[in-house]
Structure 1
């Protein structure tokens, strides 16, 4: 199965790339171009990134892009509720792979907050995100279960997290099969991005995308909430 065989919405622009290396470089170039354009037009830019292992090559490429990083605000679509020193921290991932050299001048608005419990941490993160500029670029990933950010099927706060008219910027979420509690941007905040990119690699993720396109229930596969928005899909086998 190839991505060209999928019945994609007309609003999706597909980049069919030969390898993960080319995907990382192409996505980094396109993200940087949009950030440069935002800086040129309004003096600042904002990008929201996703964590995990697969974005590492992209983050390394993005760190080397020439732009005025002092005018860029970076945030995360979601975060595990662990300190930045923890190996599973997405903020720690950015510290290791993005915030180096000139890219170290970027401003970071993270989701992790110290608090007595996850609900309190999410409220503090929600308040911190009030200072986030309008999002110029959002880079999403997708799990094999159809989750994106930390909007997991079966999570207690999923309906609130998927509410396009919701007022919350950040919510406490749970990953059913993974131990860490999560903080996630809400769909209402994520969908406000001027440009959304979805990175998809490998036959397993392509099968997940096919399943997501075949149905409409966003609570079953939350990535469906974004597939009919204007979207750049970056795919490699």
Structure 2
């Protein structure tokens, strides 16, 4: 009989992955956080060595906390790193649900505090104006070297939610906007989200998912083609590294 590690590998090896995707089956959440942080840091170091600067776009929520803590401790020339977010709740950084606040608490400490942060939140009269201001601000975003995505149980990623009014624009690879106002159908937060047209330009994309439920969602996403139904599908057929643990 095989051990837990073998069971983990078998679970993800059953996925019908495209040739451009690589799956990493990790034993537990701590190992996933460490492995992902080391891989992200290695790619950022390579980008700095090649061109003097690196850019990483991260995702928020609860799952990335351990990863952010591990990334903060990686040996890296943080002075030459720009950090941004794939999406943000439209609320000040002081709010408990702010993704920028999450980075402030768990990433920007020690040497990592020297990184340049280009956030999405903008104080504005309404969400639409805030998204326009964020879009303008993202004109300063360097080419994305590393993108780390998460995935919801409904198949959303960033804040590209099924059923959101701007989803078609958000998934349009030819749309000129870098950021759009988005609404989460079941979560009462107004959102700002980078668009697929911006995110798809990342040199390296990682998808971090945990648990059997997320594995089932990923399996369902791989089995279909309707991007509006499960927006994560827009990123599954580009070069992608998937990091998963039970």
The TM tier, using the shorter chain, reads over 0.9
Q: How big is each residue's C-alpha offset from its partner over 1:161-181, in whole Å with a ceiling of 9 and x where there is no partner? A: 000111000000000000110
Q: Residue 5 of structure 1 aligns with which residue?
A: 14
Question: Equivalents in 2 of 1:14, 1:211: separation in Å?
Answer: 16
Once residues 12 and 96 of structure 1 are traced to their aligned partners in structure 2, the CA distance between those partners, rounded to angstroms, is: 32
Aligned counterparts of 2:90 and 2:183: Cα–Cα separation in 1: 10
2:233 match:
224
Alpha-carbon shift at residue 6 of structure 1 (Å)? 1.0
Query: Does 2:81 align with 1:81?
Result: no
Deviation of 1:183 (Å): 0.1
Correspondence 1:148 to 2:157:
yes
1:15 aligns with 2:24: yes
Cα distance in 2 for residues equivalent to 1:108 and 1:182:
19
Of 200, 205, 208, which residue of structure 2 is paired with 1:196?
205
- Between the aligned partners of 1:173 and 1:58, the Cα distance in structure 2 is 26
Of 169, 177, 187, the match for 2:178: 169
Q: Return the alpha-carbon distance in structure 2 between the equivalents of residues 82 and 130 of structure 1.
A: 21
Deviations 1:13-59 (Å, cap 9, x if unpaired)?
A: 11111000000000000000000000000000000000000000000
Q: Are positions 1:32 and 2:7 aligned together?
A: no
Q: After TM superposition, give the deviation of residue 146 of structure 1 in Å.
A: 0.2
TM-score under structure 1 normalisation? 0.99
Indicate whether 1:43 and 2:39 are aligned: no
In structure 1, the gaps of 5 or more residues are: none
**Correspondence for 1:61:** 70
CA deviation vs aligned residue, 1:41-94 (integer Å, no higher than 9, x gap): 000000000000000000000000001000000000000000000000000000
Provide the rounded CA distance (Å) in 2 between the counterparts of 1:197 and 1:44. 20
* Cα distance in 2 for residues equivalent to 1:147 and 1:37: 30
Matches within 5 A, 1:90-105: 90-105=99-114
Q: Which residue of 2 aligns with 1:138?
A: 147
Count of equivalent residues: 237
Look up the SS of the partner of 2:231 in the other structure: coil
Q: Distance in 2 between matches of 1:153 and 1:114?
A: 26
The whole-number CA distance in structure 2 between the counterparts of 1:6 and 1:12 is 11
Structure 2 gaps, min length 5: 1-9
